[in-house]
Structure 1
């Protein structure tokens, strides 16, 4: 389960980076064109959506891995004090 979440997090990071890169590139090359500026704005909104989804899944991954790791198996105290 954690491997699936890890793959999804990596895909989310890549989607965030791609939308960020496309948005910045489009913003730089738009030179005042309204349509391209609107597209850049839309790409930045998608970046935020990808970022939020990735953070939620990353949080779930941390919680899942924390719950799956148990503490030391022999934590009881022996009757003879050991």
Structure 2
């Protein structure tokens, strides 16, 4: 892959990591605000956080593969 693609993944990983951190703080450390939301919104935000964490793991794996020089095959 071209280096620019790797740089885009690195940027995406950084930005996603910041979003994950902020949402985690909102859910688990700012409980007062989070608890004011209705149950559906609370569940949706927790689901969103799980999805963001899963995406973050995929980005990590892809970047690790790029860094080790391994390419995926079809």
- What is the TM-score with the length of structure 1 in the denominator? 0.63
For residues 23-71 of structure 1, give each alpha carbon's deviation from its aligned partner in whole angstroms, at most 9, with x where no partner exists.
222xx212xx671x43222211111100100110111011012117xxx
> Which runs of structure 2 are paired with 1:30-69 in the superposition (5 Å)?
30=35, 35=38, 37-67=39-69
Structure 2: distance between partners of 1:4 and 1:34? 34
Which segments of structure 1 move beyond 2 Å, counting only runs of 4 or more?
37-41
Aligned match of 1:10 in 10, 14, 17?
A: 14
- 5+ residue gaps, structure 2: none
- Which structure shows the higher helix fraction? 2
C-alpha RMSD of matched pairs (Å): 2.0
**CA separation of 1:34 and 1:18: change in aligned 2, threshold 3 A:** closer
Normalised by the length of structure 2, the TM-score is 0.69
Aligned residues: 63
Gaps of 5+ in 1: 69-82
